[in-house]
């Protein structure tokens, strides 16, 4: 192979790798400059933690996002950002009305206090996460 072809192949490989890296970073929240913070926590009797977190960004057109996660520790803002872009989010909405309560060690109840959430403002709604069953009060089923 000539020197010019070798250089061209090397450049294409470097550019391809850069494109894959940028695409990965884009879809995993590395370019998200929003503020991630825990707003509410509830511990289960088995040591699991249910978290309501908020993603706020004054530059975003959609406003704040509120989401629910289950873990075994209190997440840092960096961990919240990573989890927000993963499949770990069990519920997500634009409404600030979420409350959590455990009914036993394997059942989590997510409620919207005061009123019901419109189906159009629900982004994610899971019925289970690992061994935890999730039920909803004042929140319509979007499935």
How many residues are present in the chain?
143
Kindly list the domain boundaries of the chain, sorted by start residue: 1-31, 35-137
Displacement of CA 73 from its chain's centroid (Å): 16
What's the whole-model pTM score? 0.77
Position of tokens 């993603």?
55
How high does pLDDT run on average in the chain? 85
CA 93 to chain centre: 11
- In this predicted model, what pLDDT tens digit does every residue of 64-116 receive, in sequence order? 899 999 999 999 998 998 898 888 999 999 989 999 999 988 999 999 987 77
Report the share of the chain in percent with pLDDT over 90: 45
- Looking up tokens 């192949």, which residue turns up? 9
Find, among 112, 104, 108, the residue nearest to 51 by Cα.
108
Residue 38 has a pLDDT of 94
pLDDT at 7: 84
Residue 62 backbone phi and psi in degrees, to 5: -80, -10
Tokens of residue 103, six digits: 């009914």
Tens digits of residue pLDDT in 10-62: 788 878 776 776 666 555 555 566 888 999 999 998 889 999 999 987 665 66
* Res 75: pLDDT: 94
């Amino acid at each position: 192979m000539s020197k010019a072809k070798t250089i061209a192949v090397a450049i294409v490989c470097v550019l391809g790798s850069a494109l894959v890296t940028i695409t990965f970073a884009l879809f995993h929240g590395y370019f998200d400059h929003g503020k991630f913070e825990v707003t509410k926590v509830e511990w289960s009797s088995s040591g699991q933690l249910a978290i309501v977190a908020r993603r706020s960004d004054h530059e975003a057109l959609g406003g704040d996002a509120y989401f629910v996660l289950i873990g075994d520790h209190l997440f840092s803002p960096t961990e919240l950002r990573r989890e927000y872009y993963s499949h770990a989010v069990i519920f997500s909405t634009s409404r600030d009305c979420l409350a959590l309560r455990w009914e036993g060690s394997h059942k989590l109840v997510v409620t919207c206090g005061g009123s019901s959430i419109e189906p159009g403002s629900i982004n994610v709604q899971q019925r289970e996460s690992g061994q935890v069953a999730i039920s909803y009060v004042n929140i319509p089923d979007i499935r």
